[in-house]
Amino acid sequence: MIEGHYEQLLASRYTWMMGGIENCLAAARQLLDQIGLAGDLAGRTVLDLGSGPGYHARVLIARGARVVAVDLSQSCLNELRRDCTSAKLIPLHADLLDRKSFEPLGPFAAVLCLGDTLAHLPEHASVGQLCQIAHDVLTPGGIFALEFREQTKELTAKDAVFTTRADRDRIMQCVLHYEATRVWVTDVVNEWNGNAWESKKGSYPKLRLDAAGVAREAAGAALKPRLDELKAGRRILAFHR
């Protein structure tokens, strides 16, 4: 369901939705500095789970790292391949939990699951599974970093409808519908084709996550806490093996 939503609606508009490529790369640099992946990373291999169009991957490669970029969206991986031709990039069209696809390319100095990718897992039990995978593929002392929106509180019906981004020819809005363990995200995009407005929409579920619950799963996988911060509505957690 998530893969179809990205291929049919989100992937081709994702970089625009996030503010454009320069804004995306600047945010990636800042976040990677924050979690301890600054400076010269030559000789290190990083696993980027849910890489999307590869904002973090591109910054890591510029800093000298080899990056295995895993994503279910072929369109996002195609954008990454188009804009990053480095031999240090290994793109993989695979599921985040499919360790057989990426484990042989490790071990990894860092495992990243950023940009709210964690909430795309199929169920809460998968969070613990991902933490265990990260532990198993990391080098001793390696970093496991997560970024996600905490959905512990429900927005009011009015506030659950908001504009993601808008310009002259495109307006993108989002509608949230809450269930006990998930929140349904409906993206609605209206685009001007030169003669009339065209509308497209699609929905997919995200897990409702909280920092304490994710930290418990990480501890259960023998990962030790390194960072816990809240920035711009997103929780940033980092652990080390």
* 133 Cβ neighbours under 8 A, 6+ residues apart: 97, 99, 103
DSSP state at residue 9: I
pLDDT score of 20: 95
**CA pair distance 104, 134, nearest whole angstrom:** 13
Along the chain (241 residues), what's the average pLDDT of each consecutive run of 10 residues?
Answer: 89 95 96 96 97 97 98 96 96 97 98 96 97 98 97 94 97 97 97 97 96 97 97 94 96
205 to each of 117, 180, 187, how far by Cα in Å?
Answer: 12, 12, 11
Q: In what order do the strands lie in the sheet with 197-207?
A: 161-166, 170-178, 182-192, 197-207
Q: Is 153 helix (H, G, I), strand (E, B) or coil?
A: coil
**CA pair distance 146, 227, nearest whole angstrom:** 10
Break the chain down into helix, strand, coil percent, rounded to 5.
35, 35, 30
Among 186, 92, 102, 165, smallest CA distance to 137 is for: 102
Q: Break the chain into its structural domains and give their ranges.
A: 2-150+209-240, 161-206
In the CATH scheme, what is the code of domain 2-150+209-240?
Answer: 3.40.50.150
pLDDT score of 192: 97
Helices 55-62 and 74-83, packing angle to 10 deg: 30
pLDDT score of 166: 97
pLDDT score of 1: 78
Among 182, 144, 139, 151, smallest CA distance to 49 is for: 144
E strands within 42-81? 45-49, 66-71
Phi then psi for residue 102, to 5 deg, are -120, -20
